[in-house]
Amino acid sequence: MRKGQNPAKFVKDVARPEQITVALLNYIPFLSGFYAETLDVLKVSLESMRKDAGMSFDLMVFDNGSCEEVREYLVKEKEEGRIQYLILSEKNMGKGGAWNVMLAGAPGEIIAYTDADVLFSPNWLKRSVKILETFPNVGMVTARPFRTSPELYTSTQEWARKNATLEEGQFIPWETFLEFNLSLGQTEEENRKVYSETRDWRLVYKGVTALAGASHWQFTAYKSILQKFLPFDMDKPMGQVRQLDKRMNDAGLLRLMVSDPLAMNMSNTLGYLRGELGRERGKKKEGFGKRVLELPLIKKMLLTIYNKIFSLYYE
């Protein structure tokens, strides 16, 4: 038998969520090897995100089965009011599984998704939302220009030819192009050829400039649009998320990027902040031991062993 009245019945007002939810997906299974610096990377990402986004937002973090040290850090951030919504998954659900929860459950009308290794620049959110709200029928907006697969923004080109000013050219500066690709482990030499042989597409609509293209690693979108693509059926933790890019293009939605770099991939280290990417271009010839490790057969064998050990502990 109930005794008395639930005190919640007398609450007249409840807090309303912000219009925008920034949704960050995190996965750090341990703090050694590949993941040795990833907790520091996460901290830098969160700090840069909050520093000067240009707009207010609520922060949602989905942790995909990280180690105890990482979970403790996130819980503390939540308790101190720096994370509004925190979801701690017992197991790694993969990116698709996490997206099914995050993109459906985020309370904001606009969701700004990000991986946990992104370094943000001032006004990254404001500039993304400006494009989102100016252009019609937008699927996603990424806060950095970089060269993406042309087959994934054909609908954007088709719409722009009829409704906006559309130009083809080298609109992404070489240094901006190279900076991002170096963070992915590529070399300057291989990128010079790619840069010279590819082009960008610049759109101007109602006085707002954007570039054609976007990506699943960081994007801003309307929740109502994202829900059209749920649920994601992915049987691997990674490697299948590109389907969001393709499905948006197939649906005729615009996929756009801001015209200057407001987000940067840090990957699994703070090397970008230490200036190591720039030094990589001019470094001296690698030693014999390093060259041996880079031999295709040796590299394949060692990475196979690493993957088997990783799977043994974490799958």
Q: Is there a single domain that holds both residue 113 and residue 190?
A: yes
Q: Contact at 8 Å (CB) between 204 and 165?
A: yes
Q: Is there a single domain that holds both residue 132 and residue 94?
A: yes
56 burial class (0-12, 13-18, 19+ CB within 10 angstroms)?
A: exposed
Consecutive 10-residue averages of pLDDT for the chain (315 residues): 64 80 97 94 97 96 97 98 97 91 96 97 98 98 96 97 98 95 86 94 98 96 95 64 88 97 92 69 51 64 67 63
Q: Is there a single domain that holds both residue 86 and residue 121?
A: yes
Gap between the Cα atoms of 187 and 153, Å rounded: 26
* C-alpha angle 308-314-315 in degrees, rounded to nearest 5: 80
Q: Is there a single domain that holds both residue 120 and residue 47?
A: yes
Q: What is the tally of structural domains in the chain?
A: 2
Q: Contact at 8 Å (CB) between 27 and 64?
A: yes
CATH of the domain at 60: 3.90.550.10
- Residue 301 domain boundaries: 287-314
Position 224 scores a pLDDT of 97
Position 75 scores a pLDDT of 98
Classify residue 281: in a domain, yes or no. no
Classify residue 81: in a domain, yes or no. yes
* C-alpha angle 196-200-204 in degrees, rounded to nearest 5: 155
Classify residue 195: in a domain, yes or no. yes
Position 279 scores a pLDDT of 46
Classify residue 122: in a domain, yes or no. yes
What is the Cβ-side half-sphere exposure of residue 239, based on CA atoms within 13 angstroms?
3
**DSSP letters of 146-208?**
----GGGSHHHHHHHHHHSEEEEE--S-HHHHHHHHHTTT--HHHHHHHHHH--EEEEEETTE
Position 9 scores a pLDDT of 58
Amino acid of residue 130: K
Position 303 scores a pLDDT of 64
First-to-final CA distance of the chain:
47
Gap between the Cα atoms of 247 and 235, Å rounded: 18
Classify residue 246: in a domain, yes or no. yes
